[in-house]
Chain A
């Protein structure tokens, strides 16, 4: 299935980039660029710069980041999410996801999924497919379920993030 078709079916498909515990916002997007780099074109090349210098060059749309505990811990800096969106990353799967990172991800339309069993199973380069509505992850090692996202979170993801959601809400077309 192409990425475009997968998106239309609310399925995300791609390869796994695997990292360890506590992938911090400093690792995801270095603070030194925070107040000068804002556009997708500016931020994308710096994604994971201090953790995996090859990442931004090799990641392809639909690919999935897999991490351990506390994915996205640290700063509220939103580029730690949007640099991944800029590169077309399909989702983040981790044992646990830091609070602000989770919100920033949802707000940018990037699914962030806590699923320790899938993290245990997945290796770098594995191909995965994720269905958000049915709440499963297909891997070469089997299918893993995860707790369904809260209804308001699914609404945000369905709208494509917080900006389109608020725009619709200001127009009175969603609650």
Chain B
């Protein structure tokens, strides 16, 4: 599957960052002649995907006058942004995409309810470490959790990729963000991401590749690595990288073997084959080193992702809706984090708690573990796996004057359906605690007296 060169197989004129190594391969230039930051290169993506925007992309692609898409084997389509279709117009949009996928022989089509593109492609091991994946979705830096280069692009650009099998990219400068230290029990990857957004600002990673490392990153679950890489989209980053380790390779190998029917050893070798790691003398535009030991849970206040404060500074912020889900924080680990807070408690009167798993696999695992039952017992309502109300397109949108605390990724004015609503972004534990308290709350406060 991967045609990646093993690390160090060819001589290098200089040290390469992760993104430089990926672009050296995908541009055909190779490590010895790796393109420099600032150069514009034409590259061949390993994989590309779209979602509810597929029919619109297909309409643009038809304008190009081609009969067959150039890279049908390396495309996926997921229905996730408005699922199940809430209106006949949305249903028609899905129907057109299905028709197109069938006509063009796009095998990797994931139906309504399977889940959010970023989550599903990981679960299906359709993307592997070191690969270049293009997504018609801004949160594609998500794939940094496995050490893949995920780049978000628009509809027209995706239509061109379908036609040409290639895209131009500017080789980005890289920045390194290290997280070290032992975080307090209620601090997770979302807090690290929101903290960095507050420190560096929403343009802190603009046009750059963000390499995330340090002892506090190496300890993160794969789900939390996904949260962290996913949120680098909000930092303006082109892509993000967390160095893949055995946990990543094993996760992907198991799924690759299941999907393709190949043996485990072969799958494990494929999962590792293209992985990239930075050279010791790689060059970074910036390096940041952060100690997470004293960090409190973070909250991004309306209407900017970088308007970040410690949850302890917010008092009496009424919550009409708490929302747990999205590509950022809709995985099993997120459901479990919320469950730890709400188990044996009830959602506050006057507050709604909307839970939407990121995929069918997450939902099934949450049912099996009992997390879903505990969330429902506490008064949560459950939505179909997908993006939900995150971008104002599906159930769970807000009324004017309402306040939502969301585990999602954006709180721009109007994001969740009306410009007169306020959105606070936080971790799953803070979202759950706020659902119980009816106001934005520290989970430690809600769980005071619990036996650990």
Q: Which residue of B lies closest to A175 (CB)?
A: B42
Inter-subunit contact B417/A98 (CB<8 Å): no
- Chain A contact residues: helix, strand, loop or mixed: loop
CB contact list, A136-171 vs B, under 8 A: 150, 152, 161-163, 166-167, 169-170
Q: Closest CB-CB distance, A148 to chain B, in whole Å?
A: 14
Q: Name the interface residues of A47-101: CB closer than 8 Å to any CB of B.
A: 50-51, 69-70, 73-78, 81, 96, 98-100
Residue in contact with B154 in the complex, picked from A26, A35, A76, A150, CB distance below 8 Å: A76
Q: Whole-angstrom distance between the alpha carbons of A133 and B236 in the complex? A: 28
Partner of A24, one of B63, B159, B206, B412: B412
> Of B64, B168, B391, which one neighbours A163 at CB under 8 angstroms?
B64
A3 contacts the other chain (CB 8 A) = no
Contact A32 B203 (CB under 8 A): no
The interface residues of chain B, by DSSP majority, are classed as loop
- Give A43 Cβ to nearest chain B Cβ, in Å: 11
Contact A107 B93 (CB under 8 A): no
A129 to B356, CA, bound (A): 49
Known contacts A27-B412, A103-B153; is A152 also within 8 Å of B168 by CB?
yes
Is A2 interfacial (CB 8 A cutoff)?
no
Q: Is the CB of A163 within 8 A of B63?
A: yes
Q: With an 8 A cutoff between CB atoms, is B59 at the interface?
A: yes
What is the CA–CA distance of A157 and B354 in the complex, to the nearest angstrom? 44
Q: Which of B18-26, B82-90, B121-129, B179-187 contacts A (4 or more CB under 8 A)?
A: B82-90
Query: Which residues in B have their C-beta under 8 angstroms from that of A77?
Result: 53, 154
Cβ–Cβ contact A163 & B236, under 8 A: no
The tally of residues in B whose CB lies under 8 Å from a CB in A reads 49
Minimal beta-carbon separation of B414 from chain A (angstroms): 4
Query: Which of B59, B82, B238, B413 contacts A26, CB < 8 Å?
Result: B413
Q: Is the CB of A70 within 8 A of B154?
A: no
Output the least CB separation between B390 and chain A (Å): 9
In-complex Cβ contact of B156 among A96, A150, A162 (8 A) = A162
Cα–Cα distance between A162 and B63 once the two chains are bound (Å): 11
Q: Is A111 located at the chain interface by the 8 A CB criterion? A: no
Docked Cα-Cα span, A69 to B200, in Å, equals 14
The distance from the CB of B24 to the nearest CB of chain A, in whole angstroms, is: 19
Check if A108 is an interface residue, CB within 8 A of chain B.
yes
Residues of B within 8 A of A14 (CB): none
CB <8 Å contact, B138 and A75: yes
Q: Are B207 and A99 in contact (CB under 8 A)?
A: yes
How far, in whole Å, are A31 and B419 apart by their CA atoms in the complex? 11
Inter-subunit contact A36/B412 (CB<8 Å): no
Shortest distance between the CB of A147 and any CB in chain B (Å): 12
Asked, given contacts A31-B392, A38-B59, A167-B65, whether A22 binds B414 with beta carbons under 8 Å apart, the answer is no
Q: Are A26 and B414 in touch, CB under 8 angstroms?
A: yes
Q: Is the CB of B392 within 8 A of A32?
A: yes
A30 to B398, CA, bound (A): 14
The 8 Å CB contact of B393, one of A24, A31, A74, A108, is A31
Q: Which residues of B contact A81 (CB under 8 A)?
A: 154
| In the bound complex, CA of A78 to CA of B28 (Å) | 30
| Proximity string of chain B (44-86) to chain A, C-beta cutoff 8 Å, 1 when within and 0 when not | 0000000011001001100111100000000000000110000
Q: Is residue B397 contacting chain A, with contact meaning CB distance below 8 A?
A: yes
Is B415's CB under 8 angstroms from A31's CB?
yes
A168–B29 alpha-carbon span in the complex (Å) = 26
- Write the chain B residue with the least CB distance to A105: B154
Q: Which residue of A has the minimal Cβ distance to B59? A: A38
Chain A residues positioned under 8 Å from B203 (CB to CB): 69-70, 73, 96
* A-B contacts, 18 listed (Cβ < 8 Å): A22-B412, A24-B415, A25-B412, A27-B412, A27-B414, A31-B415, A32-B393, A35-B52, A35-B90, A36-B93, A99-B207, A100-B154, A103-B153, A107-B154, A107-B160, A163-B60, A163-B64, A170-B163
User: Other than the known A70-B206, A163-B64, A170-B164, what 16 A-B pairs have Cβ atoms closer than 8 Å?
Assistant: A26-B413, A26-B415, A27-B412, A27-B413, A34-B81, A35-B82, A35-B90, A76-B137, A76-B138, A81-B154, A98-B236, A104-B154, A104-B157, A107-B154, A108-B156, A162-B156
Binding site for A on B (CB under 8 A): 40, 52-53, 56, 59-60, 63-66, 81-82, 87, 89-90, 93, 136-138, 152-157, 159-160, 163-164, 168, 170, 202-203, 206-207, 236, 238, 304, 391-393, 397, 410, 412-415, 417, 419
